[in-house]
Structure 1
Amino acid sequence: MSAEKYGKGGFKDNKNLSFGFLTGILRVAKESIFSGMNNLAIYSVLDNKYSSYFGFTADEVKKMADYYGASDKYDEICKWYDGYCFGKTEIFNPWSVINYFSNECEPRAFWVSTGSNDIIGEILGEADAEMYIRLTALLNGESFITYIDTGVIYPQIKNNPSTIYSFLLITGYLKAVSTTLSFNGDFMCQVALPNQEIAVVYRKEILQKLERLIPQPTAIQVQEAIFTGDCKKLQKLIQTMLLQSVSFFDTAGENFYHGFMLGLCALVGGTFATSNRESGDGRYDIQLKPLSKGLPGILIELKAGKDCTEKQLKQLSETALRQINENKYDIDLKAAGIDHIYKYGVAFCGKNVEIAVEL
C-alpha cells in the first residue's frame, strides 16, 4: 500500500487517531498541500528532535552490557556498532547490539543481508571512476565533504547518481562527522564510515556492486598476483584496466593513480588497507596489513611520469621501490610481527604501467 493511501486512510481520515508516526528511509514522494498526504512534520537523521529514538544510546548500551555481565566488552561494542550521530545524539545500531549479546558477545557484521539494497545496486551501476575512488577511500578511514539532501526521493536518486551519498547517509552506511547548513536549507556534510561493521558491509554489499569498473574476477586475479609476488601478472592486469576503463584525460597525475590503486587494494580480502600514513622516515603511499597469519604484508609506492620512454618508466618504478627501503616504510609492519613483506614500486605514464618488486 502506498504511503499516500495509508496516510489518507490510516492517519488523515481516522477519527480515532489524534497523533501518529510514519517511519521509513526515503521521504514520501507525493507529500504536499495539494495531496492526500500533507501537513507532515519531517525529522531526519540530522535533526535533534527525536534523535535518541533512532537506536540505542550509549547509556542504554552500558546498562545492557552490565545486565549481561559483559561490561568489559563495551569498547568492542563501540568499535563495531557505535559511530552514528543522529542530531547531537550518539547512537548504536540496535539490531546489531541485540544480536551481539545473543551471539555470546562475538562481534560480527549482523547487518549484512538484513534487507534489499536494489536501489544502491541500480545507482552504482552508473558509477564513474570518481565515485568509485571516493567510496573505496572510505574503507581506509578517510572522509570527504559532500552535499546532502535529507529530503531526497527515489526518482531523484535514479536520475542523479550523485545523490547516492544522501541515500547512504540516511540508510546508515555513512555518518555525518560535521554538518553545515547551507543558504538554501540543505546541508554540506563531512561523511565517513561509522564503524567496523559497516566496513564489512561496505566490502560485501557496496564495493562488489561496482563490477562495471572492476569486475570481480579481475579483483580476485589482482589479489592473487599481489600475494604471490607475480609482478608480470599484476602489471598486465593493471595495464588492461587502464586501457579499457580509464579516460586518458583522467590520468592527470599521481593523485589519480593513487586513488585508482587504492580502489584496487580496498577489494583485496584479508587485509586492512591504509594510505599516506607515517612510517619510518616518511609516509608510504599504500600499505596492506594482513588480518591473519600466513599472508605477507604489502607496501606499494607510486610514481607518475610524463612522456616517459619504456626505459624511463622502468627506472621510475625502481626509484619507487628504492624509496620504500631507503625510508624504512616497513617498520610498522615489522613491529606488528610481520616479517614477510612484499614491496612494490609502481610507475605510471598515461595508460602505461611498470612494476618493480622485492619479495
Structure 2
Amino acid sequence: MGRYLNSSTSYVLYKNETMKPYFVDKTKLLSELFPFLEVGNTHICITRPRRFGKTMIANMIASFLGKRKSENGLFESLNISQNKEYIKYKNQYDVIFIDFSKMPRECHSYREYIDRIEENLIRDLKKAYPDIEIYEGDSAADVLETIFEEYDEQRFIFVFDEWDFIFHKDFIKEEDKKQYILFLSNLLKDRPYVIMTYMTGILPIAKYSSGSELNMFWEYNMASETKYSEYFGFTDEEVDELFERYEHNNENAQISRQDLRIWYDGYTTKSGERIYNPRSVVLALTNNNIGNYWTSSGPYDEIFYYIRKNIDDVQNDLALMISGESVQVKIQEYAAAAMRLETKSEIFSAMVVYGFLSYEDGKVRIPNKELMNKFDDMIQKEESLGYVYRLAKESERMLQATLAEDTQVMEEILEYAHNTETPILSYNNETELSAIINLVYLSARDKYRVEREDKADKGFVDYIFYPENKKDPGIILELKVDHSPREALKQIVDKDYKLKFQGKIGEIKTDHKILGVGISYDEKTKKHSCVTQWL
C-alpha cells in the first residue's frame, strides 16, 4: 500500500462516515459500475457543487474495489452486499486514488504541484512492483505501461477526486491548464492499463479540453443528465429516514421535517427528483439546530462575484428570483469555467454549476431558504444593485409601519418603489408586482416564513406571513390592481383567510392576533393605497 496505490486513506475516511448517526447508504452506485469493470477503458466524470457527497462516494469506490489485506466487513451490512456479484468485485483491483485538492506545504507553481503528484505515484508503483526498471525521464504513464507489459497485463482503476481544484489557484496560468489536461490525457487516454477512471469535480472537463484530449470521458452533471443523480445529495425518502433517526435520538428535538424542506430542499435533477443539500441536512440534525451550514463556508460576496460583472442585465431577474419566482434562461453548461462571465446566460449558468441556483425546465431559481438568506444579505449590502438595494433597505421600515398600521408610511414606501422607474415596475403582470412586495418586505423574513398563494384566475397574489415566534402577530396581505384596498381587505375577511394559519403552524389558533393588509395600485393615477385591520 502507498500514498496513492491501494491507500488506506479512502478506507479510513469512508469507514468513519458509515459510523456517523446520519450516514446515508449510497453503495448501490457500485452495482452500476460493475459492468464497466468487465469492459475496461471506461472513463466517468461526475460534476456537482461542493459538499454534495462527491468525495464520500469516491472514497467508497476506492474502499470497495481496492485490494486490502483486511477489509473488516465494512460493506457486509450495506446495500451493495445484496448484489449477487458482490464478492466477485470486492477488493479485487489495484486502485490509484488521488485527491487533487491535497497540495504540498509550499506550492507556488503548477510544476511544483504536478511533479509532486507524479513522483508520489511512481514511488508507489516502484514499491508495489520492485522488479520493473524505471529510466530517468519516465512519466507515470510510462511506468504503468511497463507494468502492464511485464506483469501479465496488470491493469488499474483510477479514482480522482477534485480534478479541477488546481484551476482555482491564483498561480495557475492558461498554459498550465493546458499542460494539466495533457497530463491527464497522457495518463489515461487509450492506455491498455486502464480498467476504469472515476473522476469528480465541480467544473465540466469539456470546457478545458477544447480538442480531443479528454473526449473519452462521459460527463454527468445535475442539470442535464439523469444517470447517477440519486447518489449525490439526499432524496425526500432519505431525509424522511434521517428525520426518524433524529427524532429517536433527541428527546428535545428543535427541528421539524418542514424546516428541513424549507431550508435545504430545492435542487432538482434532470428527471425532476427533488434533492436536498446533504451537508446542511446532516449538520442541522447533528447540531439539533437549523442554520446556514453549506453557505457558511463562503460569505454573500461569493454570490456577488458572479453578478457584479453585469448588474444591469441581471438586476430585474434577481428581484424576481428573490421574490420566489423562476426565471427563464438558456443554460450554457460550460460557462462556469469562463474567466469572463459577462452575459446573463453565462452568469446564471455558472451559479447553477456552483449550486447557488437550481435549474429546472429551462428556468433558474433560488433553491431554498439557506441560499435565499445569502441573497438577502447581498442585496442589503451592495449599493451597486441599484433599486433592488434601495428597496431592500426600506424593508425594515415597511414592516414596522405595517405592524403599527401606519398606512401613510406604507404608501410613501410603495410610491418610492414606483418612482425608482425600473422596468419591472411596469406591473405588466402579477409576478412583477409580487417582486416589489417581496423587496419592500424583505426584512420580514427574519421573523416570518413568508408564503404566497397563486390565484391565477382570481386576481393578484396574496401573502401570508407565518411568525417564527408565536408571540408575534401573523400577517395576511392581499393585493389588488384598479380596485380599492378595502376590497382587498374584504376578500381576506370574506374568504376567512385567517384559517390558513391552522395546520400550517399548529401553535397558532384562529384567535391568535392576525393583521389583515389590503394594498391596491391604480393604473391611471399610478398610486398605491393601503388599509389594515386586525382580524
1:24 maps to which of 189, 195, 202: 202
CA gap of 1:240–1:252, structure 2 versus 1, over 3 A, is same
Is residue 411 of structure 2 the alignment partner of residue 243 of structure 1? no
Question: 1:126 is paired with a residue of what secondary structure?
Answer: helix
**Which residue is equivalent to 1:112?**
295
Query: 1:36-60, CA deviations, whole angstroms, 9 ceiling, x for partnerless residues?
Result: 6665443211313443443356777
2:387 maps to which of 213, 222, 247: 213
CA gap of 1:97–1:272, structure 2 versus 1, over 3 A, is closer
2:493 maps to which of 325, 333, 336: 325
Q: Distance in 1 between matches of 2:473 and 2:245?
A: 42
Q: Distance in 2 between matches of 1:252 and 1:63?
A: 45
Q: Distance in 1 between matches of 2:464 and 2:313?
A: 26
Q: What one-letter code is carried by the residue in structure 2 that aligns with 1:137?
A: S
Q: Distance in 2 between matches of 1:300 and 1:85?
A: 30
CA gap of 1:247–1:262, structure 2 versus 1, over 3 A, is same
Q: Measure how far apart 1:208 and its partner are.
A: 6.2
Q: Distance in 2 between matches of 1:282 and 1:251?
A: 13
Q: Measure how far apart 1:27 and its partner are.
A: 5.8
Q: How large is the Cα RMSD of the aligned pairs?
A: 4.1
If the length of structure 2 is used for normalisation, what is the TM-score? 0.51
Is residue 277 of structure 2 the alignment partner of residue 93 of structure 1? yes
CA gap of 1:249–1:324, structure 2 versus 1, over 3 A, is closer
Q: Distance in 1 between matches of 2:230 and 2:532?
A: 52
Any residues of structure 2 matched to 1:54-65 within 5 Å, and which?
54-56=232-234
Question: 1:110 is paired with a residue of what secondary structure?
Answer: coil
Aligned residues with identical type, % of pairs: 18
Q: Measure how far apart 1:242 and its partner are.
A: 1.1
If the length of structure 1 is used for normalisation, what is the TM-score? 0.72
**Which residue is equivalent to 2:515?**
341
* Contact 2:387-2:422 at 8 Å conserved across structures: no
**Which residue is equivalent to 1:264?**
440
Query: 1:193-249, CA deviations, whole angstroms, 9 ceiling, x for partnerless residues?
Result: 544544444444578658422324322222322232221112112212211243498
2:480 maps to which of 303, 307, 311: 303
Question: 2:219 is paired with a residue of what secondary structure?
Answer: coil
Q: Measure how far apart 1:20 and its partner are.
A: 5.8
Any residues of structure 2 matched to 1:1-359 within 5 Å, and which?
1-2=166-167, 3-9=177-183, 11-14=184-187, 18=194, 19=197, 21=199, 23-25=201-203, 29-33=207-211, 40-45=217-222, 46-56=224-234, 70=249, 75=257, 79=261, 80-88=263-271, 91-103=275-287, 105-115=288-298, 116-122=302-308, 125-127=311-313, 130-138=316-324, 143=326, 146-155=329-338, 158-176=341-359, 179=361, 188=362, 194-204=367-377, 211-214=385-388, 215=390, 216-247=392-423, 250-252=426-428, 256-269=432-445, 270-276=447-453, 285-305=462-482, 316-333=484-501, 336-337=508-509, 338-349=512-523, 351-359=526-534
CA gap of 1:320–1:207, structure 2 versus 1, over 3 A, is same
Q: Distance in 2 between matches of 1:344 and 1:166?
A: 38
Question: 2:441 is paired with a residue of what secondary structure?
Answer: helix
CA gap of 1:218–1:264, structure 2 versus 1, over 3 A, is closer
Question: 1:148 is paired with a residue of what secondary structure?
Answer: coil
Q: What one-letter code is carried by the residue in structure 1 that aligns with 2:317?
A: M
Stretches of structure 2 lacking an aligned partner (at least 5 in a row): 1-165, 168-176
Q: Measure how far apart 1:284 and its partner are.
A: 6.0
Q: Measure how far apart 1:67 and its partner are.
A: 7.6
Q: Distance in 2 between matches of 1:54 and 1:121?
A: 27
Q: Measure how far apart 1:23 and its partner are.
A: 0.9
CA gap of 1:95–1:343, structure 2 versus 1, over 3 A, is same
CA gap of 1:90–1:271, structure 2 versus 1, over 3 A, is closer
Question: 1:21 is paired with a residue of what secondary structure?
Answer: strand
Count residues with an aligned counterpart. Answer: 332
Bigger shift: residues 110-119 or 243-252: 243-252
Q: Distance in 2 between matches of 1:246 and 1:99?
A: 41
Q: Distance in 2 between matches of 1:75 and 1:246?
A: 39
CA gap of 1:334–1:358, structure 2 versus 1, over 3 A, is farther
Query: 1:1-49, CA deviations, whole angstroms, 9 ceiling, x for partnerless residues?
Result: 544343234x134489954625114666442117x66654432113134
CA gap of 1:13–1:131, structure 2 versus 1, over 3 A, is same
